[in-house]
Structure 1
Amino acid sequence: MPTAGSPPPALRHAPHRRRLVSVAGAVVLTMAAALGGVPIAPPALAAGETVTIHLTTTSDSGGRNVTRGLERQAPVNFAATSPGADHTIAVDEGVRYQRFEGGGASITDTTAHLFRGGAISAATRDAVMRRLFDPVDGIGLSFVRNPIGASDLSRPGMVSLDDTCCDLNDFGANGYDTNVRLLTQQAKQLNPRLRVMGVPWSAPGWMKDNGRMDQMGWLKWEYYPTYAQYLAKYVQSYQAAGVPVDYVSVQNEPNCCQAGNPTAMNYPGMSWNPSGLVEFTKNHVYPAFRAAGIGTKVIHFDWNYGDYASFGSQIVADDALRNDPLSAGIGWHDYAGSPSVGAQAHDQYPSMTQFNTEHSGGTWVGDQHNEDMGDIIEHARNWSSAEVKWSLALNQNMGPHNGGCGTCTGLVTVQEGGGRAGQVDNTIEYYTMGHLTKFVKPGAYRILSTADSTVQNVAYVNPDGSKALLAHNGGGSARSVRVVWGGQSFTYDLPARTTATFTWSGTQSGGGSAGQVTGLAGKCMDVAGAATANGTAVQLHTCNGTVAQRWSRGADGTLKALGKCLDVAGPSTADGAQTHLWDCHGGSSQQWTFTPGRDLVNAYSGKCLDVTGNSSADATRLQIWTCTGGANQKWTVPA
């Protein structure tokens, strides 16, 4: 995601000489008021709050030795002024992005075996489940993504939920999923806001052309309806246990990971192409769910950012599949590619919800602490609504596993045998996920915060109005951070190799009228290149959360960004006169009235702010034009 505004247009326009104008503007303002429009004015707000701070610190280069885990620190207070700092993070709850759906991990068969198979006592299991899922006494995990049948993190064996050909009369009879379901039921009781997702690694072998769950293989065409019913029965089995399934994916990592050499695939997997997934989902899963009265939604793709262009994009390009009420959105894994693909997908389909559904920790990760926090922050900044790790638990030998990953790590490590048998240890992944899930609740919204590559950060406002700012200093030295919220701020020294979550409540002051101004195609009014020189172009650009798109409303009708005013060049009253950034001077060419019809009317000219040529392309200049009521003259300003 860009951190310094958007690129400037190819051509720059020279600054114009200024002259102050006011009389014509007064007439236009009066006319606008008569039509029901009012000059833009901010509401009167107040704040002054205590900030609670929790820190996690690691001491080693691998980011695994936790010396301080979610430890509460002495609080600080917002004040009208605060000392300067190495980094400034401005938080603006007036600018909202995607809704948060939850964070967590997978209750794999491995987890179920370790928790319910005798490795730990029932009392220990209950205590560990509380510290994982309880929102008060634990970290409040709020999303689980559970395999349907065997995966690579299972006890050895290629087992589905119905291994008997050639119908579903024996579904669930083998009891394979029982302990996973019981743990999910317990998690739901501990956190009623828990989201539950199910996903298969493979169909039962008897439905596939190779007759087995491993070594890839394709779902036989004649079993498309039966396999859709298999997924429906899975959802119904959880419903019967009092655990609604919010989401399913029809395939984990489709066509991964040995498509070129299927016999080398030593754990469950299945081959698909995009058209097959569209056909199966749209014409079999959706109808099967509807016929059974199931409202569970489907998360599509469920694979890497790096495979979106060649695979995932072809799935969600199908309008009927993507826009169906049973479509939840797209799922990402982050083993290949860049999270910036999420921003690209958002540009293509702004209403499509995105979920990060899997990214495992493991011994291959150079710095687990830094990677985890980079994932949590950058996934969110690129429009992800959920953050889900891989297995909730593994043992000290990173097992048991069923082929596939023998070097994965979880949020907790169960000591299975040995001198510490029966004990359960938190890993760094427990604490990093806790920095999100303990403080950010399902239904929260990501809000604007200043992007910073050194002190990575992301901010949310919860349904109860409380705020949470996650900030991570992955470097080897402390960094001072100044957090600005409306008209107040505080400064905090963030130690090296440390993550902080700052939380506070209250109403934003001084900045409640600031945020994005959106127009044609949902894009933002943007200062080209985030430049502050007089004459810098004001343009339409994809919304990116940077300061170049943060506009504050003045009581005098001005719109300000980067300390300067939206202004009409010249000043001119001609159709096509361009807008730019200029020093605020009090003239009516810098005054704007927002009407009930969502027009922004310039006080000097009486004309509307207009997107040139009705084009939604990035870097399209904004101008004034006779008001037409067209979509390229409609705007949404911060409330």
Structure 2
Amino acid sequence: MKDPSVIMIDDQVRHQTIDGFGFSTAFRRNELIKSLSEDKRREVLDLLFDPVKGAGLTILRLGIGSAPAGSPYDEMVSIQPEDPGGPDAPPRYVWDGDDNSQVWVAKEAQRYGVQRFFAVAWSAPAYMKDNGDDKNGGKLKPEWRRAYADYLVQYTRFYAGQGVRITELGFANEPDWTAPHPSMRFTPKEAADFVKLLGPLASGVRLVCCESLGWEEAKAYIAAIAADPEARRWVKVYTAHGYGTPVDTPLPTKQPTWMSEWNPNGTTWNESWYDGSGSDGYTIASAVHDALTFGNVSGYLYWLGASEGNTRALLRIDGETGTYRVSKRLWALAAFSRFIRPGAERIGASGAVPSLKVCAFRNPDGSRVVEVLNTGVAPRAWAGVSETAEVYLTASGRRSRSRRGRPRRPGAARARRGPPAAPR
């Protein structure tokens, strides 16, 4: 007996527009990629940015450094590492054209067509803060506010001089959390006040706020900015992370929202598609689906593209042997990023079977993408998918593709359909 249709797509229902998917190069992890041999380096870059060989990621999140000159690996060096003599003294910026190797990876990303570069400061340099440390929270000294705003704008100018346009700019990372690494606190009102100072200076850059620790926590920052008409005019994207609270509802704004940092907990390197650990590929696929459908996010940025040791990054690099390993987390993210391209719209989609998570998108070229995640333990076949669809399967042990609308084993699948003959 033929299976009943269990997936319904409605082109007339339109949700958010997608800005893209990406990852962060903060804390100099990109130096691990650069240390590989030329052929291995290209393979890793293909896995991250190539939409045919890899994930086709389209947003690069850069870290604006705050550490003194000569700081070791894992600390991002500032473009003004020393106090120039006070907030009113002429600045003494230092630019090496490298920026902790981030310029290199940004230029490589451009070769793959990446056009969106999101720069975020974890902290101001220590001398601008009331705790005299770029780590462990602390606040920006009031007298340094204008100098810090100029500092951030100068960072974007340095990149422009390298041929890389910073498209989005954030002045704080997790301003609601005191961290042992670079961090700086802003209350929602303080953030709104700083937006009014930075906004007019950051011409041609979309201002972002506020990178809060969790999704629910972002609402206080949005409310403070929404209550101030001058602050509201400058913020173009609202961002939050997935650590404190998960992405489970749309944020209260009409501006685009991004889930701009998250990776799962864990203490080991994990290459599994599904093992119940909470750091496997299935976990990532489910988190991305929920962010897109429950949170209506326009951008989804994983934490690190590559790192070392017992990392939850997408790839693990061993600098001693010059080799790398690929996790199923990469392919879980790629199941979305490779097919849902910038400018796509999420359209209506539903499933008649509770164990299937379903969402669908219409790309700018008219092609449609249907994402299906089987949350059950048994294989699930479905009917009603056009025979012209290409079906890709992410499951334990392999990634496969077929021309038929039926996955061969449990996992995540997505069907990419050609442009319809006419709008429905």
In structure 1, the residue matched to 2:180 is 266
**2-side partners of 1:473 and 1:423: how far apart?**
33
In structure 1, the residue matched to 2:50 is 134
Q: Please show how residues 482-501 of structure 1 align to structure 2 within 5 Å.
A: 482-483=383-384, 492-493=406-407, 495-496=409-410, 498-501=411-414
SS of residue matched to 1:480: coil
Structure 1 residue 472: deviation in Å? Answer: 1.0
Q: Deviations over 1:456-476 (max 9, x none)?
A: 121111111011111111332
In structure 1, the residue matched to 2:305 is 392
Q: Please show how residues 326-405 of structure 1 align to structure 2 within 5 Å.
A: 326-342=234-250, 345=251, 348-349=252-253, 351-363=254-266, 366-381=278-293, 382-395=295-308, 397-398=309-310
Structure 1 residue 237: deviation in Å? Answer: 1.2
Q: Deviations over 1:274-316 (max 9, x none)?
A: 111111111x111212xxxx31111212121131344543334
Q: Deviations over 1:242-293 (max 9, x none)?
A: 111111111111121x3xxxxxx421001111111111111x111212xxxx
The match for 2:164 among 243, 247, 268 is: 243
8 A Cα contact 1:214 1:268, kept in partner: yes
SS of residue matched to 1:299: strand
Does structure 1 residue 431 correspond to structure 2 residue 328? Answer: no
SS of residue matched to 1:465: coil
8 A Cα contact 2:49 2:56, kept in partner: yes
In structure 1, the residue matched to 2:394 is none
**2-side partners of 1:107 and 1:213: how far apart?**
19
The match for 2:121 among 190, 200, 207 is: 200
**2-side partners of 1:270 and 1:316: how far apart?**
22
**1-side partners of 2:107 and 2:47: how far apart?**
16
Letter aligned with residue 81 of structure 2 = D
Letter aligned with residue 357 of structure 2 = Q
In structure 2, the residue matched to 1:409 is 312
**1-side partners of 2:75 and 2:323: how far apart?**
26
In structure 1, the residue matched to 2:274 is none
Structure 1 residue 410: deviation in Å? Answer: 1.1
Q: Please show how residues 277-292 of structure 1 align to structure 2 within 5 Å.
A: 277-282=191-196, 284-289=197-202
In structure 2, the residue matched to 1:181 is 103
Does structure 1 residue 449 correspond to structure 2 residue 349? Answer: yes
**1-side partners of 2:415 and 2:90: how far apart?**
51
**2-side partners of 1:170 and 1:221: how far apart?**
20
8 A Cα contact 1:459 1:468, kept in partner: yes
Q: Deviations over 1:140-185 (max 9, x none)?
A: 111111111169xx82447422111035743234667141111111
Does structure 1 residue 164 correspond to structure 2 residue 78? Answer: no
Letter aligned with residue 287 of structure 1 = P
In structure 1, the residue matched to 2:59 is 143
In structure 2, the residue matched to 1:262 is none
Letter aligned with residue 275 of structure 1 = K
Over 3 Å counting, the alpha-carbon distance change for 1:163 and 1:176 in structure 2 is: farther
SS of residue matched to 1:432: helix
TM-align CA RMSD: 2.5
Letter aligned with residue 209 of structure 2 = H
Over 3 Å counting, the alpha-carbon distance change for 1:84 and 1:165 in structure 2 is: same
Structure 1 residue 94: deviation in Å? Answer: 2.1
8 A Cα contact 2:259 2:299, kept in partner: yes
8 A Cα contact 1:472 1:499, kept in partner: yes
SS of residue matched to 1:384: coil
8 A Cα contact 1:158 1:268, kept in partner: no
Q: Please show how residues 550-629 of structure 1 align to structure 2 within 5 Å.
A: none
SS of residue matched to 1:184: helix
8 A Cα contact 1:473 1:495, kept in partner: no
Q: Deviations over 1:565-620 (max 9, x none)?
A: xxxxxxxxxxxxxxxxxxxxxxxxxxxxxxxxxxxxxxxxxxxxxxxxxxxxxxxx
Does structure 1 residue 110 correspond to structure 2 residue 55? Answer: no
The match for 1:299 among 201, 208, 215 is: 208
8 A Cα contact 2:282 2:332, kept in partner: no
Q: Deviations over 1:437-483 (max 9, x none)?
A: 11111011111100565211211111110111111113321112334
**2-side partners of 1:474 and 1:316: how far apart?**
38
SS of residue matched to 1:135: coil
Over 3 Å counting, the alpha-carbon distance change for 1:190 and 1:158 in structure 2 is: closer
Over 3 Å counting, the alpha-carbon distance change for 1:219 and 1:140 in structure 2 is: same
**2-side partners of 1:321 and 1:480: how far apart?**
51
Runs of at least 5 residues in structure 2 that lack an aligned partner in the other structure = 268-276, 390-403
In structure 2, the residue matched to 1:313 is 223
Structure 1 residue 494: deviation in Å? Answer: 5.6
In structure 1, the residue matched to 2:401 is none
Structure 1 residue 430: deviation in Å? Answer: 1.1
- Percent sequence identity is 24
Over 3 Å counting, the alpha-carbon distance change for 1:178 and 1:172 in structure 2 is: farther
**2-side partners of 1:297 and 1:310: how far apart?**
21
Q: Deviations over 1:508-557 (max 9, x none)?
A: 67x92xxxxxxxxxxxxxxxxxxxxxxxxxxxxxxxxxxxxxxxxxxxxx
Structure 1 residue 493: deviation in Å? Answer: 4.2
Letter aligned with residue 246 of structure 1 = T
SS of residue matched to 1:492: coil
**1-side partners of 2:66 and 2:380: how far apart?**
46
SS of residue matched to 1:430: helix
8 A Cα contact 2:281 2:327, kept in partner: no
SS of residue matched to 2:61: strand
Structure 1 residue 491: deviation in Å? Answer: 5.2
More RCO (CA 8 Å, sep 6+): 1
**2-side partners of 1:442 and 1:413: how far apart?**
27
TM-score, normalised by the number of residues in structure 2 = 0.84
In structure 2, the residue matched to 1:213 is 134
Does structure 1 residue 89 correspond to structure 2 residue 89? Answer: no
Letter aligned with residue 505 of structure 1 = G
**1-side partners of 2:365 and 2:243: how far apart?**
35
Q: Size of the alignment, in residue pairs?
A: 388
Letter aligned with residue 104 of structure 1 = G
Structure 1 residue 415: deviation in Å? Answer: 1.3
8 A Cα contact 2:66 2:126, kept in partner: no
